[in-house]
Structures are given as C-alpha cells and as structure tokens.
C-alpha cells in the first residue's frame, strides 16, 4: 500500500494547486495528482484577470468572496517569489468596463452606485475616458474605472503554487491519471491511479470541467458542464492601453513584454479544443472596434481552454453529502484565477474542521 497522506487532491490546475499550497503552509502532508502537467488546461488558457466587477456586483453571493480573494494577491505574489523565485506577473493595473451605448452607460453608473466606497470606482465620461486611454475608440460612451482590479499570468501562478507546495513538503505526481476512488463503506479512503493506489484521510476533487466524469464513478452528479473559450494574443511596439479593457463579449488584457491578450468566445457543452476561424474573426472584429490600432499589431498565437460551469452559476466548494472523506472544489467558470486564493483557504479550513464564514450553502451547485 502506498504511504498515506493527510489529503490527496485530484487536479493540477490553479484551484488544486492553491488548495495544496494552503494545506502545505499549515503542515499538512498533501499529494496532488495531475493526468498531464500542472496548468495544462484551463489554467494555462486563462487571461489571468482579477476582475471582481467584470461579472459580479454587490448583490452576487460571490462578490465578497471575490473581493477578499483579489485582495490576497499582493501578499501571495510576494510569498511565492520568496519561496520559489517565480514571478507571477501580478499587476494592479485597474480595469475599465466600457459602455458603448447610453443604456449601457446608465447600467454601469447604477452598478457603480452600489459598490463599496473603498473600491475607488469612478465613472469616466467620454472625454475623460480619452484622457485615461487615448487609443480607445471614440465610439465609447464612457467607462467604469475600477482601480483595484488587476491581472496575473495564470500559468505562472499555477506552477508557482505547485512549486511552493513542494518546497513546503507536498508531493506532486504529473502524468498520472486517477481511474477510480477507493471506497470503504460510506467513506472514500483513497484513489486508484495509473501507477497504483494512494490513500489519504481526505480526498479533494478539483479537476475543473473533468470533475464531473470522475465523480460519476461513485454515482455523484455535479450538474456542471464544460464551456470552451477561445483567445489570441498579439504584440505591439507601443503600450496601447494601461488598463484591462472589458466589454460584453471581449476583453483586452495588457501583459508584460508588449503583449495583449484578447478573449474570449463561449461554446457550451463541448470538450473540443479546436480553434475556429469564426471565433477568431469575431474576437478580432470586437477587439479592433474597441482598440483600432490593434490592427497593426503582430500576431502571436491562438488557443482555447475548457472552463467548468455549474447550472446554478456558482462554484461547488465543500464536502460531499454522499461520502465521508470526499470534498469538491470546482465550477469556478470564468473566475477560477480570481477565486483561487480564497478557495485554497476555505478548503484548508474545511480539512482542519473549521467553519469558514465564507463557506455557505449558496456555494453549492
């Protein structure tokens, strides 16, 4: 029998690695199992936006969670740099949510009135928007400036969390597939993998869009589905925008080295990662409508990722009601990078038998 662990985590994306890191900081002996490499799927494809206000507002049950998670990033970036020497490219560059019509402008102004004062959110009229970001299309009616939002390199974040965990005593097994759970009565006591069994006091499934197929082995249904998102990146000699630009259907994220990351399409209920010409054309049109000078940029590459979405729209974070020793952390959809730090903390609290006040029943599927 393989040596027992305190916790075995299935899935080497940003959520699994964040949980492993938080557990390792608390002295727990953890094992993370990934069927490919760390950050090989959605966490590699993500734009890395830390946008509390891209989809959420004060009325969303995720709002406080997202806010708290984003605010953890400055300290987390420093911790990971000290432990691993890796730079996750954290930037608090702010975000502008563009309004293209008067109706959109009214909606954003209304949303801004409900945000916390300490977020420093400011409505930018069209002339002021041009002062902030002079290369943006003059067709925009205005924009909501959110100074505290930012972005990171999603892949570098995921790998840094994994490497830091190993430094703290965790084990990671890449290119290892979990075939099934080891069940004793009503308790999950381990996993059966392509290289043998591993036992632990607790098993956490954090396999993103692939969590559903694994949990079905023991008759559990998550009510989740995959959503493909296509993105592309370009390079430009000038810094066309300082801040992340967000509209419905398109975002432009400035990265280090003169790169701009543009995303993302949405194709639900598919694991097919093929990149479509129609998807790229649609994104290019939207991006150049927002930032016309992008038409002169140098093409870099295109890719896609499969994101996990639940029917209820909220992530599943907590213990299984069907089996002891089994917990689930998935369904973060487009907010996986944003919610990774707080998800790691909440799951570590759960493993220690602590009731995290942020872990409420509304977090279920």
Query: How confident is the model at residue 248, as a pLDDT?
Result: 86
**Do the first three CATH levels of 5-86+154-223+311-363 and 95-149+225-310 match, i.e. the same topology?**
no
Distance of alpha carbon 233 from alpha carbon 254, whole angstroms? 10
Query: How confident is the model at residue 117, as a pLDDT?
Result: 76
Look at strands 171-173 and 30-33 and give their pairing. parallel
Give the DSSP letter of residue 311: T
Domain range summary for the chain, segments of one domain joined by +: 5-86+154-223+311-363, 95-149+225-310
Q: Residue 159 to residues 43, 87, 93, 131, 154: CA-CA distances in angstroms?
A: 10, 10, 23, 38, 9
Query: How confident is the model at residue 363, as a pLDDT?
Result: 40
Residue 254: Cβ within 10 Å count = 19
Average pLDDT rounded to a whole number, residues 206-214: 96
Is the pTM higher than 0.85?
yes
Q: Do the Cβ atoms of 103 and 142 come closer than 8 Å?
A: no
Tell me: the pLDDT tens digits for 99-131?
988 999 998 888 777 777 788 999 999 999 999
Query: How confident is the model at residue 364, as a pLDDT?
Result: 42
- Of 121-125, 181-185, 273-277, the range with the lowest mean pLDDT is 121-125
pLDDT band at 23 (very low <50, low <70, confident <90, very high): very high
Tell me: the pLDDT tens digits for 281-296?
999 999 999 999 999 9
Query: How confident is the model at residue 362, as a pLDDT?
Result: 36
Q: Do the Cβ atoms of 230 and 306 come closer than 8 Å?
A: no
Cis peptide before 264 (omega within 30 of 0): yes
Name the average pLDDT for the chain: 93
Tell me: the pLDDT tens digits for 217-270?
999 999 999 999 999 999 999 899 999 999 989 999 999 999 999 999 999 999
Average pLDDT rounded to a whole number, residues 196-209: 97
Q: Do the Cβ atoms of 229 and 45 come closer than 8 Å?
A: yes
Residue 12 above 50 pLDDT? Answer: yes
Distance of alpha carbon 295 from alpha carbon 137, whole angstroms? 13
Residue 361 above 50 pLDDT? Answer: no
- In this structure, whether the domain defined by 95-149+225-310 belongs to CATH 3.40.309.10 is answered with no
Residue 61 above 80 pLDDT? Answer: no
Query: How confident is the model at residue 1, as a pLDDT?
Result: 45
Average pLDDT rounded to a whole number, residues 174-200: 97
Q: Domain 5-86+154-223+311-363 sits in which CATH superfamily?
A: FAD/NAD(P)-binding domain (3.50.50.60)
Query: How confident is the model at residue 358, as a pLDDT?
Result: 65
């Amino acid at each position: 029998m393989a040596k027992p662990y305190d916790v075995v985590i299935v899935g080497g994306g940003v959520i699994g690695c964040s949980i492993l890191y938080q557990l390792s900081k608390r002295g727990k002996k953890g094992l993370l199992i990934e069927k490919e490499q760390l950050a090989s799927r959605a966490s590699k494809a993500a734009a890395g936006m830390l946008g509390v206000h891209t989809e959420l507002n004060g009325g969303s049950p995720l709002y406080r969670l997202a806010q708290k998670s984003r605010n953890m990033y400055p300290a987390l970036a420093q911790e990971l740099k000290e432990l691993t020497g890796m730079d996750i490219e954290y930037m608090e560059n702010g975000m502008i949510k563009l309004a293209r019509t008067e109706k959109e402008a009214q909606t954003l102004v209304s949303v801004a009135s409900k945000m916390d004062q300490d977020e420093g959110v400011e409505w930018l009229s069209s002339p002021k928007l041009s002062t902030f970001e002079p290369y943006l299309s003059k067709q925009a009616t205005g924009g909501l400036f959110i100074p505290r939002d930012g972005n990171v390199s999603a892949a570098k974040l995921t790998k840094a969390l994994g490497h830091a965990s190993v430094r703290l005593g965790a084990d990671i097994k890449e290119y290892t597939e979990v075939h099934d759970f080891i069940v004793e009565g009503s308790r999950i006591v381990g996993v059966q993998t392509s290289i043998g069994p591993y036992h632990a006091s607790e098993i956490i499934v954090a396999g993103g869009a692939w969590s559903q197929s694994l949990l079905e082995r023991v008759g559990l249904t998550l009510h989740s589905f995959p959503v493909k998102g296509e993105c592309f990146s370009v390079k430009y000699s000038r810094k066309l925008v300082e801040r992340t630009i967000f509209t419905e259907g398109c975002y432009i994220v400035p990265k280090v080295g003169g790169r701009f990351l543009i995303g993302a399409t949405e194709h639900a209920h598919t694991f097919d990662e093929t990149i479509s010409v129609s998807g790229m054309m649609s994104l290019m049109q939207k991006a150049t409508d927002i930032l016309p000078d992008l038409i002169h940029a140098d093409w870099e590459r295109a890719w896609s990722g499969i994101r996990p979405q639940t029917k209820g729209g909220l992530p599943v974070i907590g213990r299984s009601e069907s089996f002891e020793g089994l917990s689930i952390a998935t369904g973060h959809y487009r907010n996986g990078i944003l919610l990774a730090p707080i998800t790691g903390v909440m799951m570590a609290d759960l493993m220690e038998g602590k009731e995290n006040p942020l872990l409420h029943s509304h977090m279920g599927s």
